[in-house]
Amino acid sequence: MSMLKDIAQYITASGIATLQVDLFIATEPSTPDNCVILYEYTGRPPEMQAGYDLPGLQVRARSTTWDIGRSKLQAIQDLLQEVGNEYGDDIDLAQGVTINNTLYTRIEPQGGVIPAERDKNKRHNTVQNYIIAKERNNE
């Protein structure tokens, strides 16, 4: 399964958003107004000897107000940054999490939420980027 599908499943399982309702993978539907879209993004070169890929993830929130999108991205950041965080609140996630037989050892935000241009319907767009450390597989 792809990294985007894995992360979407993880977010859906948390209850923050629901896949194909208000969470979408690599495509931005015209509705609903308030939704989250996951995209692959520039990552880092793989760590070949360690057997890890380091893809990038961009989480985009589209919303009717800045606060709605910002809050949604913060909830997702709170969830994702616990993976592989030895100083986080969930000690069980310090060693990573396995989703669909792929071990994700770290999901690290690359800065804060970035405002983007509003769309043609005047909806707010905000993004946040991540670097993911995941076990190399044959996708």
pLDDT tier, 48 (very low <50, low <70, confident <90, very high otherwise): confident
Sign (positive or negative) of CA dihedral 110, 115, 116, 122: positive
64-75 pLDDT, tens per residue?
999 999 999 999
Is residue 88 within a helix (H) or strand (E), and if so which, with residue range? none
- pLDDT of 1 higher than 80: no
How many domains does the chain contain in total?
A: 1
- Planar angle of CA 136, 97, 60, nearest 5 degrees: 85
Of 77, 81, 72, 96, the residue nearest 23 (C-alpha): 72
The two beta strands, 124-135 and 52-63, are antiparallel
Q: What is the pLDDT of residue 89?
A: 72
* Placement of tokens 């910002």 in the chain: 70
Weakest-pLDDT range from 5-9, 52-56, 90-94? 90-94
- pLDDT of 139 higher than 70: no
Q: Which range of residues forms the domain containing residue 47?
A: 3-135
111-134 pLDDT, tens per residue?
899 999 999 999 999 999 999 999
Residue type (1 letter), 15: G
pTM over 0.85: yes
Q: What is the pLDDT of residue 136?
A: 85
Retrieve residue 101's tokens.
């037989």
Q: What is the pLDDT of residue 88?
A: 67
Of 136, 126, 121, 132, the residue nearest 96 (C-alpha): 132
Looking at residue 15, which CATH number applies to its domain? Answer: 3.30.2000.30
Retrieve residue 90's tokens.
């969930």
